[in-house]
Amino acid sequence: MKEDSKKNKINTINNKTKNIQKKKQTNSTNKNAKIKNTNTKKQTNSSINKNKTKNTNIKKQINSSSNRVKTKNTSEKRQSHSLSKNIKNTDNIKNNNIDEQEVNIKNNVDEKTIKVDTKNTEFIVKRRLKKKFVVLLLIIFLFIFAFSLYKVITWAIDNIKTKNQINDIHESIKVEEVEEVGEVENIVETITEVNPPIEEESDYWYYIKMPLINVDFTELLEKNKDTIGWIKVNGTNINYPIVQTDDNDYYLNHSYDKKYNDAGWIFMDFRNNIDNLSKNNIIYGHSRLDKTMFGSLKNITKSNWYKNKDNYIIKLSTPNKNTMWQVFSVYRIPNESYYITTDFNNDDEYQLFIDTISKRSVYEFNAMPNINDKILTLSTCGDNDTRVVMHAKLIKESVRN
């Protein structure tokens, strides 16, 4: 029993040992398995890690490839974009060139159009200006024509009025010729002083035998108180009363009746005195085309007038005396004031004046005055710039009662 018990104990111990060994084996196996598992895990983890690393590398490669692709794509995109830009730029340039060409063409067309328009405008402007100019010329012409017509009508009316006055005066006033006249006071003395020719055929003796004129001024003074005398010039139409005022311009455009008239009237310079003669005594008158006033004075420079010796005489009648004047110079001269000088500071000045106006004569009269002579000057307009002038010296007078 005891042995059985021992055996049982030994068996039990063996079993236990076996169990322990088994356990150990099991544990070892488990450990090995664990280790194996661990190794396997490690291997697996390593593989996984490797795989991860590989995957990572692959990813990296993929990423790198992707990046490369991306970079390539980006580059391609950039190139494409650049190319697109270039194409666009090229297109833009082309478009710009086309636009520029179109603009240039348009500009050229516009310029041509502008030129055409400018030409058309210029043509239209010129045409309008031409029309305006023609209209202006027509207006000016019509104005000139109207003004000229007015002046002609006025001139004709003035002439008619003047002629009517002259006719009325000649009908109402008697101009008598007086045969028995006294010689000018101191005439012999004067002749002696200038050594006149003693021969009876001398012109002087011929002229002093001519009758003077005598006019009754009563009616004339009633018509016009400015009347100072009457003048008659042989070989002309001059046979009118003379007036005088303190204004030389008044009778340039007033007639004998003192009404406005462009024909004016014959008048003496306001500086002269008909009763107290100056060295040079001036009478003015318009040179009318109808030969009234001093219109016929232009004849004195013509040979027909000069050929008649009887024309070299001026007869003057005033309320106080009758006088006769012998012509010694006739001429035309540009406008000046020297020949209408009335008085002189000394005899030398007067002699120079006599010499100057005598030399101007277009004809010779053989009647040279001296410093003791009185001169009568008739002046009228030859045209706008000249004057026709006649000078005569006093050769005899008759004092009226």
CATH number at residue 369: 2.40.260.10
Contacts by residues 339-344 (CB-CB < 8 Å, ≥ 24 positions apart) = 339/377, 339/379, 339/387, 339/389, 339/391, 340/269, 340/280, 340/282, 340/377, 340/379, 341/280, 342/269, 342/271, 342/272, 342/278, 342/279, 342/280, 342/281, 342/282, 343/271, 343/278, 343/279, 343/280, 344/279
Catalytic residue among 175, 178, 340, 381: 381
Query: Residue 346: phi, psi to the nearest 5?
Result: -155, 175
Q: Which residue type is seen at 239?
A: N
Specify the pLDDT at position 280: 98
Looking at the domain assignment, is residue 276 inside a domain?
A: yes
- 86-125 in b/e form (b: 16+ CB < 10 A) is eeeeeeeeeeeeeeeeeeeeeeeeeeeeeeeeeeeeeeee
Domain hosting 375: range is: 177-399
CA atoms within 13 A of residue 217's CA, in its CB half-sphere: 22
Specify the pLDDT at position 41: 54
The position carrying tokens 């005594």 is 281
Looking at the domain assignment, is residue 183 inside a domain?
A: yes
Looking at the domain assignment, is residue 127 inside a domain?
A: no
To the query of whether residue 395 is one of the catalytic residues in this protein, the response is no
Hey, is 296 helix, strand or coil? helix
Instruction: Answer whether 395's CB lies under 8 Å from 375's CB.
Output: no
Query: Which residues does 401 contact at the CB level (< 8 Å), separation at least 6?
Result: none
Looking at the domain assignment, is residue 355 inside a domain?
A: yes
The position carrying tokens 């008598």 is 176
Show the low-confidence residues of the chain (pLDDT under 50).
1-2, 33, 35, 38, 40, 44, 48, 62, 69, 181-197
Looking at the domain assignment, is residue 137 inside a domain?
A: no
Tokens of 346: 């000394």
Q: How far apart are CA 281 and CA 199, in angstroms?
A: 30
Looking at the domain assignment, is residue 262 inside a domain?
A: yes
Looking at the domain assignment, is residue 261 inside a domain?
A: yes
Q: What is the pTM of this model?
A: 0.64
Torsion of Cα atoms, 335 then 338 then 343 then 349, to 10°: -170
Specify the pLDDT at position 214: 94
Looking at the domain assignment, is residue 128 inside a domain?
A: no
Query: Residue 218: phi, psi to the nearest 5?
Result: -60, -55
Closest CA to 212 of 184, 242, 253: 184
Into how many domains does the chain fold? 1
Instruction: Answer whether 190's CB lies under 8 Å from 208's CB.
Output: no
Q: How far apart are CA 134 and CA 139, in angstroms?
A: 8
Closest CA to 301 of 203, 390, 231, 207: 390
Q: Which helix (H) or strand (E) segment is 41 a member of?
A: helix 2-172
